[in-house]
Structure 1
Amino acid sequence: MTWSTFTRPSDFVDAAREMADSGRHTLAHLLAEEAADRTPDPEEAARIRAEFPGPSLRQEG
């Protein structure tokens, strides 16, 4: 799966789980943050963030 094929929040969550399973926890967290941001339902976004806890790893600017 490539970034260009990610069209739904669930695509990002699936990728986040794959990255977590392979030990790439930073990337997993970033993908989960993106999934949560793209999720219109606040409760679902909170559930995604809870599955991948921790402070934001994004660098704004």
Structure 2
Amino acid sequence: MPLFSFNRPSDFVDAAREMADTGRPTLARLLAEEAADRTTDPQEKARILAEFPGHSLRQEG
């Protein structure tokens, strides 16, 4: 089983795309939100979230 490393926003975006492609839109959105959080460029954040539309699914405490 391969080990995955999530160090960059692009790692999260790649995983989000894989989840979307395999019919897991909720997980895809959560991964996209994490990628956006790790991105400093506001335009890139917006682009990432636009690729995976929907409302935030996070449960903040």
* TM-score bucket of the superposed structures, by smaller chain: over 0.9
Structure 2, unpaired ranges of 5+: none
Query: CA offsets per residue over residues 18-50 of structure 1, 9 Å max, x none?
Result: 000000110000000000010010000000000
* Large movers: runs of 4+ above 6 Å: none
Report deviation, 1:14: 0.1
Q: SS where residue 7 of structure 1 aligns?
A: coil
Structure 1, unpaired ranges of 5+: none
Instruction: Provide the TM-score with structure 2 as the length reference.
Output: 0.93
Q: CA RMSD in A?
A: 0.8
Q: Report whether the alignment pairs 1:17 with 2:14.
A: no
Matched positions, count: 59
Q: Report what 1:54 is aligned to.
A: 54
Q: Report what 2:38 is aligned to.
A: 38
Q: Which has the larger radius of gyration?
A: 2
Looking at structure 2, the residues matched to 16 and 32 of structure 1 have their Cα atoms a distance apart, in angstroms, of 6
Report deviation, 1:6: 0.1
Instruction: Provide the TM-score with structure 1 as the length reference.
Output: 0.93
